[in-house]
């Protein structure tokens, strides 16, 4: 797989300090302990109590040139991971086998601390 490459840069700044319309409240989501991720073709950000954190970067992307230079503020940055390279391939990801065609043992989980048995029957077909 070839690394990601920006062919033509967009004109708009990303993650500015103001917006024309609010369709999602990150502040409300954070107050109610909801996990919030912002996924772009270049990177993934996570909303934290301290602000927006850059957590994953696409293969071949230069953080300073391709991400930070286009933002109105500097996000938090800790331990960065590379985004899964399979996302950038032309062939299918094979999600059916990973999500639906599960063995029965992969569909069962027991949480001993909470004394709860989890059963995943999603997409299960019995012949």
Q: What is the pLDDT of residue 92?
A: 84
127/115 Cα distance (integer angstroms): 31
Residue 6 forms part of a structural domain: yes
Residue 30 forms part of a structural domain: yes
Per the document, the length of the chain is 127
Among candidate residues 29, 54, 59, the one with its CA nearest the CA of residue 44: 54
Q: What is the pLDDT of residue 43?
A: 94
- Report the number of distinct structural domains present in the chain: 1
Range of the domain at 52: 1-85
Q: 114: Cβ–Cβ under 8 A, 6 or more apart, which residues?
A: none
**Predicted model pTM:** 0.68
Please report, in tens digits, the pLDDT of each residue of the chain (127 residues total). Answer: 567 777 878 777 777 777 788 888 888 887 888 889 999 989 999 998 888 999 999 999 999 999 999 898 999 999 999 998 888 888 887 777 776 777 778 889 999 998 999 988 877 777 6
What is the CA 68 to chain-centroid distance, rounded? Answer: 18
């Amino acid at each position: 797989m070839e690394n990601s490459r920006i062919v033509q840069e967009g004109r708009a700044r990303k993650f500015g300090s103001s917006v024309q319309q609010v369709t999602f409240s990150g502040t409300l989501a954070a107050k109610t302990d909801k996990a919030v991720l912002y996924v772009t073709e270049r990177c993934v950000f996570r909303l934290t109590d301290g602000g927006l954190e850059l957590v994953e970067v696409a293969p071949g992307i230069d953080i300073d040139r391709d991400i930070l230079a286009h933002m109105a503020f500097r996000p938090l940055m800790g331990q960065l991971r590379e985004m899964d390279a399979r996302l950038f391939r032309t062939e299918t990801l094979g999600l059916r086998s990973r999500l639906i065609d599960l063995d029965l043992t992969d569909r069962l989980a027991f949480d001993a601390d909470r004394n709860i048995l989890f059963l995943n029957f999603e997409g299960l077909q019995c012949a």
